[in-house]
Amino acid sequence: MRTGSDVPCVGETAGGGADATSASAKPVILRGWRHTDLQFAGGVSQSRMRTFRPGHLAVDYTRTMMASLLWCPRPALIGMVGLGGGSQVKFCHRYLRQTRLEVAENNPHVIALRRTFRVPRDDARLQVLLADGARFVQERRGRFDILLVDGYDASGIPAELSSQRFYDDCRDALAPGGVFASNLYATDFADHLSKLRRSFGAEHVWMLEEARQSNRVAFAWVGDPFPDGRIDLPAIARVLPPRLAKDLAGEFQRVAAAWRAR
């Protein structure tokens, strides 16, 4: 198996839709000296953890998704659809001490692996729910400052997490000024973008490709996060936790450069 960020990686989750098969599938854990991988089928990882740095975002697209902080650098509440190995959960829990996290995962076997992947226990800032991802979003109108969607099963993105209704619900689940980010892996991304544009408006949707993976990250937002049309990295960095800003500096610079060139 290849190692490093060029490893085939579907997503950080094992589900999030309503499909009964995906919700009961048992993942396979592959342990190596450098990495621990969560897989379901086909030798494609759905999550990867560095053995000696469990809180590090080891896969490129997960770091790009965290660039949603450029739109909303001080989130009070982040919602996530899909737990998987909990990479983004661990990262946010570690660095964003003033932020609460609500996570929906529909596969109890994945939730049972929290200790394996060193996902923190629930506390005042973290709640992991055994829940259908589509219903989770639908029931939380106006709630999230950031909503991260990374829900996959063995066949790809479940239908419940790729419908027009779902994307409408994602928009409605955002608080004023909120931002949505989604991982699109080896899928008909044009169809997803079309639905997102109908939900958010064409001028509020943007997509980035990953150079070393078959992943794309779609961003969508409400409001006007950059009134002068540019991402002011120094100003944003000043309000982010210093260690987080340093860790993601390369991704922030890449996203800001792509924003300027769009």
- Residue 174 falls within a domain, yes or no? yes
Q: Does residue 33 have a pLDDT over 80?
A: no
Distances (CA, A) of 58 to 6, 52, 88, 186: 10, 12, 10, 19
- In this predicted structure, what is the pLDDT of residue 164? 98
How would you write the chain as a 3-class SS string?
CCCCCCCCECCCCCCCCCCHHHHHCCCEEEECCCEEEEECCCCCEEEEEECCECCCCCCHHHHHHHHHHHCCCCCCEEEEECCCCCHHHHHHHHHCCCCEEEEEECCHHHHCCCCCCCCCCCECCEEEEECCHHHHHHCCCCCEEEEEECCCECCECCHHHCCHHHHHHHHHHEEEEEEEEEEEECCCHHHHHHHHHHHHCHHHEEEEECCCCCEEEEEEECCCCCCCCCCCHHHHHHHCCHHHHHHCHHHHHHHHHHHHHC
Q: With 80 as the cut, is the pLDDT of residue 8 above it?
A: no
150 carries an active-site annotation: yes
Is beta strand 35-39 parallel, antiparallel or unpaired with respect to 28-31? antiparallel
Q: What is the percent of the chain with per-residue pLDDT over 70, rounded to a whole number?
A: 79
In a domain, 78, yes or no: yes
Average pLDDT over residues 114-137: 93
- Tens-place pLDDT, residues 49-101: 666 566 678 788 999 999 999 999 999 999 999 998 888 999 999 999 999 99
Average pLDDT over residues 117-143: 95
Range of the domain at 168: 20-261
The answer to whether residue 165 is domain-embedded is yes
5 found inside a domain: no
Classify residue 145: in a domain, yes or no: yes
pLDDT tens digits along 144-155: 999 999 988 767
- Number of domains, the chain: 1
Instruction: State yes or no: pLDDT of 197 exceeds 70.
Output: yes
Catalytic residue among 37, 60, 145, 150: 150
CATH number at residue 46: 3.40.50.150
| Cα 236-240-246 angle, rounded to 5 deg | 95
Taking 80 as the threshold, does the pLDDT of residue 161 lie above it?
Answer: yes
Supply the pLDDT for residue 114: 87
Confidence of residue 17 (pLDDT cuts 50, 70, 90): very low
Q: Is residue 7 part of a domain?
A: no
